[in-house]
């Protein structure tokens, strides 16, 4: 039976690469999308199918606990299990703290951090019953080193790895691993949005001399969700071209 993998924000950017990698390696992927972006998600689903990578899609706002509970109830009803969760959905709302309004703070904390509570809590019982689970949380190099204009994002993404380490301890005896991947600068819309001059400066500071590709992250996710990766838990893998070493 195919293992079922839920990838949040799984229809674009890094999420789409993760969905494609896992589908092509034989997993039943369910790519989650924001309900307001249904047209884009269905278009992506159709294109994936044409590429020979059929995925299911499921709407839910990961910042909303009820919305996540409903989505996961539906998945458990349809597939009877969720074996893998990749918490990938994320946003930025950059501003220096002096200029950051409460909405910018809360949107990032709710989407990038509270989402882990909202998505993981409803799947734990199923993973525990199956004595198997793989949870991968996507953080960021900007959590590890901080970033000007990103107190909200750096705080939320640093919180992600705290969550990983605590849940890894709670679930270790149940066959469920929990790990963090911290990407550096990866070639997606999020990085495209950085002004050209600043992007050149960033690339100059990356030891391998280039931004990463979404597939670099997808391969790390694939490694961690493998059946044979059960001895890796509570860890953080940096995929950043050497930008930050610790």
The catalytic residues are: 153
Report DSSP letters for 181-223, one per residue: EEE-SBSSHHHHTS-HHHHHHHHHHSTTSS-B-HHHHHHHHHH
Nearest to 242 by CA among 219, 194, 209: 209
- Residue 85 CB, shortest distance to ligand NAD, in Å, is 13
Q: Edge-to-edge strand order for the sheet containing 176-183?
A: 56-59, 28-33, 4-7, 84-87, 133-138, 176-183, 236-239
- For residue 174, the 8-state DSSP code is G
List of residues contacting ligand NAD (CB under 6 A): 8-9, 11-15, 32, 34, 37, 61-63, 88-91, 111, 138, 140, 183, 185-186, 188-191
**CB of 132 or CB of 167, closer to ligand NAD:** 167
Instruction: Provide the minimum distance between the beta carbon of 176 and ligand NAD in the complex, in angstroms, as a whole number.
Output: 21
Distance CA 44, CA 66 (A): 25
Return the number of the residue (80 or 208) whose C-beta is nearest ligand NAD.
208
Radius of gyration of the chain (CA): 17
Nearer to ligand NAD, 88 or 132 (CB): 88
Nearer to ligand NAD, 12 or 45 (CB): 12
In the complex, what is the shortest distance from the CB of residue 188 to ligand NAD, in angstroms, rounded to a whole number? 4
Between CA 10 and CA 241 the distance in angstroms is 23
Report whether 32 contacts 10 (CB < 8 A): yes
Q: Give the containing element (helix H, strand E) for 236.
A: strand 236-239
Nearer Cβ to ligand NAD, position 61 or 83?
61
Least Å distance, CB 27 to ligand NAD, is 19
Least distance CB 83 / ligand NAD (angstroms): 20
């Amino acid at each position: 039976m195919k293992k079922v993998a839920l990838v949040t924000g799984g229809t674009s950017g890094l999420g789409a690469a993760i969905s494609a990698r896992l589908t092509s390696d034989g997993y039943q992927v369910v790519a989650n999308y924001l309900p307001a972006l249904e047209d884009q998600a269905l278009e992506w689903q159709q294109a994936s199918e044409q590429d020979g990578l059929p995925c299911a899609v499921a709407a839910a706002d990961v910042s909303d606990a009820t919305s996540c509970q409903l989505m996961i109830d539906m998945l458990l009803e349809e597939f009877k299990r969720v074996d893998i969760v990749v918490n990938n959905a994320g946003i930025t709302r950059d501003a220096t703290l002096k200029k950051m309004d409460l909405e910018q703070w809360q949107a990032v904390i709710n989407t990038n951090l509270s989402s882990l509570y909202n998505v993981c809590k409803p799947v734990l019982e199923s993973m525990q019953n199956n004595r198997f689970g793989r949870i991968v949380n996507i953080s960021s190099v900007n959590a590890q080193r901080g970033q000007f204009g990103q107190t909200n994002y750096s705080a939320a993404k640093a919180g992600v790895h705290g969550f990983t380490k605590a849940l890894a301890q709670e679930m270790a005896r149940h066959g469920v691993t929990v790990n963090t991947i911290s990407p550096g600068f990866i070639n997606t819309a999020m990085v495209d949005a950085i002004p050209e001059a600043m992007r050149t400066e960033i690339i100059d500071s990356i030891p391998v001399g280039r931004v990463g590709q979404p597939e670099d992250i997808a391969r790390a996710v694939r490694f961690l969700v493998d059946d044979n990766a059960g001895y890796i838990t509570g860890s953080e893998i940096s995929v950043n071209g050497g930008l930050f070493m610790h």
